[in-house]
Chains A and B, each alone.
Chain A
Amino acid sequence: MALRFEVLGRFNRARAARLTLPHFVCQTPLFMPVGTQGTIKGLTTEQLEDIGAQIILGNTYHLALRPTSELLDELGGLHKFMNWPRALLTDSGGFQMVSLLHLADITEEGVTFQSPVDGKPMLLTPEESIQIQNRIGADIIMALDDVVKTTTTGPRVEEAMDRTIRWIDRCIKAHKRPTEQNLFGIVQGGLDPVLRDICVKGLVNRNLPGYAIGGLSGGESKDSFWRVVAQCTAALPEEKPRYVMGVGYPLDIVVCSALGADMYDCVYPTRTARFGTALVPEGVLKLKQKAMAEDTRPVDPTCDCMVCKNYTRAYIHCLVTKDAMGSQLLSYHNLYYMMKLSRNLHSSIIEGRFPEFVREFLQQMFPKGDVPEWVCDAMEVAGIDISSCCTPFSSSQD
């Protein structure tokens, strides 16, 4: 174990905590920007610090290809290579393989795939994944799991869940740096509560430093999504961090935090920035639209990042999708927004005003009161009264 997790405040299931990692002391709930290939697209490490990023993600699959984990190891690890003084998390490499590669296949041994370099058959085993991640040197590393799409049904789901448990033991055994790197297990089981429960119990038995809820954000309904998160956060140990992988939209993060999750990652903020979309309290602002061309307001009047303090929508409009600077500025704002959201979640829980924060957030995003039903259901389970944010349920017949 190479971390300390101290809960500093609560509201029902939601918690604000201090997560002490080898490279940085973090405050949860927190969002982790994704720096796929050893950089967050277009931003410098200094800008990331200014924004308040605490942990950033590296993708093992991409880094193993270029510049290779051996090179990173030789040069002192990814922290030193990219000069990021705070915390890093690497995924197992499995997800990218399954989603990106042609003819990827999963067997008991590992993930077999065609090398993207020369087409030769290759195999990523749990042992290999951990070894690569040991070389990269992140504060948190992820176990190789057998992940299936949430829309999959049938015996494959159970097979994947069982295999994930068998693989965690191989990962633990292969892990050479347990005092410097924290191995998180990933809860699988699709949308089946029975399978999820078995998986949670199996992972918790191994007494890992932290746990992730995987296999979501892949096309399932929002209603199914929150229920899985709620079930897992209820079953996972209190005193360890919970990481919901691949989440996501600000609304999803608020809901999951209310249900008791602590950490999130997603490419959404930076990816949507490159398409000219800014994250704002009302939801999104599409800066490519013609109406933005003469709009002299800042992107988000309530935001105090350097982009919103200095630029108008009109100017950003003329940059987006045409000039690299447009992507940079919007990525900066979007990540600033996500980190501000993280800070607000943390401080509102500590300061005993979490429900007020949630209500304000929902009121800004749904000024007409049309809060989605899944959010209302989830908040009920979370014990947060959001009735003031929702218009009374109008019956379909008038």
Chain B
Amino acid sequence: MLLFQWKKIGSDSQNPCFCRQKREQTSAKPYNSSSSSCSPTLNPKLFVSVDMKFAVKAWSGGRARTGVLHLGSCPTPIETPSLLLSTRKGLPLFTPPDLLPSLPLPDSRLFHVSSLHFLEVPSPQTISKIGGLHQLLGLPEHGFVCIPRDSIQCLPECNSSNKFGASFETPSGRRLMKPVEYVELITSLKPNMWTTLADEVPVWVSDKRNKTSVDRTIRWLDECIELNQAGGPVIGSVVGGSSVNERERCAQEVASRNVSGYWIGGFGLGENMDERPALLNAVTDILQEEKPRLISGLGLPEEVLQGVAAGIDVFDSTYICHLTLGGFALTFPLDGVDMNASGIELTNIGSDQTKINLRATAYRKDMSPIVANCNCYTCKNHTKAYINHLLNVREMLAQTLLEIHNTHHYLGFFRSIRAAIKSGNFEQFRQKFVESRCYHVAAEAAAAAAFM
């Protein structure tokens, strides 16, 4: 077992940070004090750069592309298509901050943060005093993307939205967010990117309601840009429901504004997956090519592939969260090579070729890791039998270990996507992937929705 010690990294030694330096330890050696040598005080006046640059790098025949995202606070640029990790109040649900460096870098540094998690405490004044998200969360080298909707706790409540603001269900109850207080909160959080306030509606609303949502979203876009005192990168929100015309209209308006990127909303709210390509393509064909496209609500692997095919660069997915809460661990092969040829038919307990249900008694004595040559903390240190036990006795460590593995694995999926695009065969990759799955996406989505 290796012993870790906190150590300052880099020449800029003002940042308290999580970096680990491994020390060898033999079993007979008496332990040493594990005192940290990181800087002892939080520096509220520390300036964290939130500059953002994006460049498209490669295409794969259609709209799918790779890109590079340079975020001021991140020491290493992040390749796209990439995944935003789900958080609650800025930190992952279960993965402790000192284990974050064990996740794949730099891709694991992109976090989705919902400003709606900060409606109560601390106040915007206190958050500003502390120095914004990077200081608040002790993660100065991370990239934070603020999108109010988190698809788990914070969902748009379109019936309560009105001309003054967008309504959301939040942990603090139903709230109406108006542009002024929305931007005030963003200003205190100082994220690397933030989406303008949008009026998201599901596909079954009336045409009139849908049109109104586009009108409001554009108006709030302009208000947010005007109120943006801090000057941080603004991501323009595009809505339009299931109307190609409205989608196009909204995209045109947003594309003509001075924004640093785009966020496409209104998906993952119960629409038919088959409807999406037409709507997505209509939008991405209009948006400026060299700016990043973000999307929420396309969480499952097939949905991500759908989005990549339409030219989306960054995905906000709750897949990992739902898997983790349900006791599932991802096992699908990442390189087209079957890593887990166990031959056991496990379909009737929710396990299949893509994931396993660690609550199943089949794993009671299984002393192997979740995935044979996975390099994540969980697979390097623990077995299916142990996680099975933790789930049975309802210990939180189960979720911690599962979240770490699932995050690692899903980030690996995104790496495979990028590799396929770079080598020009994304469409083959996508087709092969979809065919190899032996269950219906609808069943998966229903199961995932059941955990919400």
- What are the residues of chain A within 8 A of B33 when measuring CB–CB? 52, 340, 343
- What are the residues of chain A within 8 A of B431 when measuring CB–CB? none
Determine which of B30, B93, B397 lies in contact with A44 in the assembled complex, contact meaning CB atoms within 8 Å.
B397
A208 at the interface (CB under 8 A from B): no
Is there contact, CB below 8 Å, between A75 and B365?
yes
Is there contact, CB below 8 Å, between B31 and A54?
yes
B234 at the interface (CB under 8 A from A): no
Task: Write the nearest CB–CB distance from A46 to chain B, whole angstroms.
Answer: 7
- What are the residues of chain B within 8 A of A62 when measuring CB–CB? 393
Total interface residues in chain B, CB < 8 Å: 63
- What are the residues of chain A within 8 A of B136 when measuring CB–CB? 312, 315
**Chain A interface category by residue count:** 35 or more
A362 at the interface (CB under 8 A from B): no
Is there contact, CB below 8 Å, between A318 and B381?
no
Is there contact, CB below 8 Å, between B367 and A328?
no
**Per-residue interface assignment for chain B, residues 58 to 101, with 1 indicating a CB less than 8 Å from any chain A CB and 0 otherwise:** 00000000000000000000000000000011011110111100
Question: Which of B199-207, B346-354, B382-390 is the interface stretch?
Answer: B382-390
| A57–B27 alpha-carbon span in the complex (Å) | 19
Is there contact, CB below 8 Å, between A67 and B89?
no
Residue of A with least CB distance to B381: A83
Scan residues 254-289 of chain A and give those whose CB is less than 8 A from a CB of chain B.
none
**Per-residue interface assignment for chain A, residues 323 to 347, with 1 indicating a CB less than 8 Å from any chain B CB and 0 otherwise:** 1110111001000000010010000
Question: Which of B117-125, B225-233, B272-280 is the interface stretch?
Answer: B117-125
Given A44-B397, A324-B399, A325-B91, answer yes or no on A52-B96 (Cβ-Cβ < 8 Å). Answer: no
Interface of B is mostly: loop
- What are the residues of chain A within 8 A of B42 when measuring CB–CB? 296, 298, 310, 312
| A42–B403 alpha-carbon span in the complex (Å) | 13
| A132–B228 alpha-carbon span in the complex (Å) | 65
Determine which of B36, B122, B385 lies in contact with A293 in the assembled complex, contact meaning CB atoms within 8 Å.
B122
Is there contact, CB below 8 Å, between A46 and B4?
yes
Is there contact, CB below 8 Å, between B93 and A325?
yes
Determine which of A52, A66, A67, A296 lies in contact with B34 in the assembled complex, contact meaning CB atoms within 8 Å.
A52
Is there contact, CB below 8 Å, between B396 and A41?
yes
- What are the residues of chain B within 8 A of A325 when measuring CB–CB? 88-89, 91-94, 96
| A39–B399 alpha-carbon span in the complex (Å) | 13
Task: Write the nearest CB–CB distance from B263 to chain A, whole angstroms.
Answer: 25
Is there contact, CB below 8 Å, between B98 and A39?
no
Question: Which of A23-31, A101-109, A171-179, A385-393 is the interface stretch?
Answer: A23-31
Is there contact, CB below 8 Å, between A38 and B389?
yes
Residue of A with least CB distance to B388: A67
| A316–B43 alpha-carbon span in the complex (Å) | 17
**Per-residue interface assignment for chain B, residues 116 to 150, with 1 indicating a CB less than 8 Å from any chain A CB and 0 otherwise:** 00101111011001100000111000000000000
Question: Which of A112-120, A180-188, A237-245, A301-309 is the interface stretch?
Answer: A301-309
Residue of B with least CB distance to A315: B136
A74 at the interface (CB under 8 A from B): yes
- What are the residues of chain B within 8 A of A24 when measuring CB–CB? 27, 31
Is there contact, CB below 8 Å, between B88 and A323?
yes
| A324–B99 alpha-carbon span in the complex (Å) | 15
Is there contact, CB below 8 Å, between A310 and B96?
no
| A47–B381 alpha-carbon span in the complex (Å) | 13
B340 at the interface (CB under 8 A from A): no
| A104–B396 alpha-carbon span in the complex (Å) | 30
Is there contact, CB below 8 Å, between A37 and B393?
yes
Is there contact, CB below 8 Å, between A23 and B400?
no
Is there contact, CB below 8 Å, between B1 and A324?
no
Is there contact, CB below 8 Å, between A39 and B397?
yes
Additional pairs, 14, CB under 8 Å, beyond known A314-B130, A322-B171: A23-B27, A37-B389, A41-B395, A46-B377, A47-B96, A74-B365, A75-B385, A83-B383, A306-B18, A309-B36, A309-B138, A310-B38, A312-B136, A328-B400
Could you tell me which B residues sit within 8 Å of A by CB distance? 1, 3-6, 16, 18, 27-31, 33-36, 38-40, 42, 44, 88-89, 91-94, 96-99, 118, 120-123, 125-126, 129-130, 136-138, 171, 364-365, 367, 377, 381-383, 385-386, 389-390, 392-393, 395-397, 399-401
Could you tell me which A residues sit within 8 Å of B by CB distance? 18, 23-27, 37-39, 41-47, 49-52, 54, 62, 66-67, 71, 74-76, 81-83, 85, 293-294, 296, 298, 304-306, 309-312, 314-315, 317-319, 322-325, 327-329, 332, 340, 343
Would you mind naming 27 contact pairs between A and B with Cβ atoms under 8 Å apart? A27-B31, A38-B389, A38-B390, A39-B395, A42-B395, A46-B1, A46-B99, A46-B377, A47-B96, A50-B4, A66-B389, A75-B385, A81-B383, A82-B386, A293-B122, A294-B121, A309-B36, A309-B40, A314-B121, A314-B126, A315-B130, A317-B121, A318-B118, A322-B171, A325-B94, A328-B94, A343-B33
